[in-house]
Amino acid sequence: MTTPVSAPASALFTPLKLRGLTLPNRVVVSPMCQYSARDGNASDWHLIHLGQYAVSGAGLLIIEATGVEPAGRITADCLGLWSDENEAALSRVLCSVRPYATMPIGIQLGHAGRKASVRRPGQGRGNLPRSEGGWQTCGPTDIPFGPEWEAPQALDRDGMQRVIRAFAEATRRADRLGLDLLEIHAAHGYLLSSFLSPLGNARTDAYGGSRENRMRFPLEVFDAVRQIWPAHKPVGVRFNGTDWLEGGLTGDDAVAFAVELKARGCDYMDLSSGGSARAQIPLGPGYQVPYAAQVRREAGVPTMCVGLIRDFDHAEAIVANGEADLVALGRGMLYNPRWAWHAAEALGAKVDVPHQYLRGATRDGVPSQDTILLR
């Protein structure tokens, strides 16, 4: 008589605990800019967008990059969390979504720096003219992001303190909204990213030059956020594993930053890349995963990976092989909002499905008997 051997559990669909928050699985709806806010206020589009992904079966939903001050928005149509009006608008959306979803919801706070004040997709490229609602940008120095970009205003110490206070105040608002997780955006050449990178930071004071100096301001922002964000709630940081340019950030720089963040109470590292107008990025499925793997291995911290990951088996292998602890999908989720359902079915796992959608939940393409009876 032989004993049946059960199939191994899916690594992608195992829970993950971050401080007092337990994620039901390792699939993350990546923060995705929607360019649908008015004066930073969430709109009915956000209700549609966040509502569908909150019942997608993923383990975590992260709200799009949210400006901590008006000048920190990428476009004039980006979400913000600097005012009572912003907070009330997002509260309306969350209060509508939460009764129907058990998924943890986080938010990504950021400042676009010298990459701010640009046209939204579909309106062309480059800076938004002042005549059309554009504004003065800021950066480590007055060096523009790229050719034909407007020169930013170099942040002095008072300006840096203003930005730190803005991150702190947005953090207080995020906590009042009852959000479960907070992520700081320090990637893609935005303000904190430009301080970290030797390509964006040409300062000659204590905030430029050496790696230690270039990390100083982003770490001050993190410290302010971590001090305010409740101790039982996790904080993560998205930052670059590479700038894809000679003389830019490397994997070793990412590890060094991760080590400093870990010592300050950061709970996970979200590895991305890029952020220079000159970068030629070799796009492909999982092209940023090696940086998440390096940081996880060398800094000993949980990591999140992102970057054109669509295949179920690929996502499963990333977690099973210890390359990252969380797999975030942006474009893949836009293409297939039920990605987590389909991945769970393919990998022999289960995800939460709202009772209103049970008829659509299948196993090997066959609906369960109890849903067949619900006619």
φ, ψ of residue 75 in degrees (nearest 5): -125, 170
Which candidate in 35, 53, 190, 291 is catalytic? Answer: 190
Ordered mean pLDDT values, 10 residues apiece, the chain (375 residues) = 54 98 98 97 98 97 98 97 98 97 96 96 85 94 91 97 98 98 97 96 97 98 98 98 91 97 98 83 90 98 96 98 98 96 94 88 55 44
Amino acid at 373: L
Residue 154's pLDDT is: 98
DSSP state of 74: S
Q: 54: Cβ–Cβ under 8 A, 6 or more apart, which residues?
A: 61, 97, 98, 100, 101, 103, 105
- Using CA atoms, how far apart are residues 75 and 33, in angstroms rounded to an integer? 10
**Domains of the chain and CATH, by start:** 16-372 (3.20.20.70)
Residue 365's pLDDT is: 53
Amino acid at 18: L
Residue 279's pLDDT is: 74
Residue 124's pLDDT is: 78
pTM higher than the cut 0.85: yes
Residue 125's pLDDT is: 79
φ, ψ of residue 47 in degrees (nearest 5): -65, -45
Q: Examine the residue annotation and report whether 53 is marked as an active-site residue of this protein.
A: no
Residue 364's pLDDT is: 54
Residue 224's pLDDT is: 98
